[in-house]
Structure 1
Amino acid sequence: MTKTPIEIDVYSDPICPWCYIGYKRFQKAKELRPNFDVKIRWLSFQLNPDMPTEGMDRQTYLDTKFGGRANATQFYSQIAAAGKSEGIDFKFDDIQKTPNTVDAHRLSLFAAAQGKQDELMERLFENYFLEGKNIGERNVLIDIAVEVGLEGAEEYLNSAKGHEDVLYTDQNARNIGLTGVPCFIVNRQHILPGAQSPDTLAQMLDIGHQQLTENG
């Protein structure tokens, strides 16, 4: 086991289905390297940075983004198949609104400060993709925060705290060339984009472990 944990920064958006798939695959990768100490930090990236604060009707969003239901159906059928292979039963038809995710990202920052970011992100994914909930709504986010044991989440969300941090991190991702997520960064040096296989992600952990070993 390394003396210093392997640091994995994950740029992600909780309404990105490939991010959910990537999360599940990363969990498997960690199981392949049980002796590695791994520290994950979730970083903000908005799939739709121009999304109105109130979000957008799901069908309007799909028509705008994919040019119609047929194209969207084909796109999401491929994701659904990939999800099933990782034990995710996506409920895309239950999603009524595509949300603005700034508040969800703010809550992620808040959860990180309490050491519960992983638990929060998993519940954001589940609420959106499995339960069809609008994770752009404050009351939904507050309920999730209570579930994972965050203290003071309602007061935090009702303030402006974290808003600029989310926008800064999102812009920084674009400045380094990111155009999509998930994206994994090992020890703030090695970049691995996409929802790669568990084996590939495990090899990423090997690189991080080797680097720490060489640095003593």
Structure 2
Amino acid sequence: MIEPKLRESSRDYAYRVIREMIVNMELVPGSKVSEIELANLLGISRTPVREALIDLAKNGAVTIQPQKGTFISLIDPNLVEEARFLRKTLEKEVVALLCEADYQKQLHLLDECVSLQEFYLNQGNYEKFLELDNEFHQLFFQLTNKNQIYTLMKGLNIHFDRARTFIFKNKPSIKTLEEHKVLLKAIHEQDKHTACQCIEQHLYQYELDKDSFEKEFSHYFNKK
């Protein structure tokens, strides 16, 4: 179980863990969730769990139905596309910034992250690989001092993260790692044009895979 961070409120802790469980498909689309069970699992009271679920409902990640209960929302292709579009738009800008000389001294953090990704991928530890994949993209914003933008993006991004995680777990591929390496090479070479092309192509990969997965796992997808 994920441990609470130092001085993290129970509400924030509940939100972070439940979000992670949704993204990792531990809480599968369409399933009913119990405040009591989640509270017992996290070792906290029901109130912060309820508050976290309300926050997740605002992002469309869960659906609260009066008199019926709280359910994990189905994967909505429209929301996934909105999140992908937002990420593509913002990440192209921060990747272009990383290509500037002012940020070159910090790129070793991205190098280390990619090296760890390769290690865990070779070990078959896909959960850790995906965790580092998220960290890699978050570093774009941290290294360019755009942390608040990343935080704002994260609410909608849950839909893209969940779909991407679901596809990767069912169809593991080294392509993500190779794309990270090519992107990082372009950033080191301060080649903004290539770096922006790389990030756009990288985030487009979901589009190439989604149709077959929507058909094979139709019970997880919202068809409206």
More helix by share: 2
Which protein has greater RCO, CA pairs closer than 8 Å, 6+ apart?
1
Question: Do these two structures clear the TM 0.5 threshold for a shared fold by scoring above it?
Answer: no
Q: TM-score, normalised by structure 1?
A: 0.27
- Which structure shows the bigger proportion of residues in strand conformation? 1
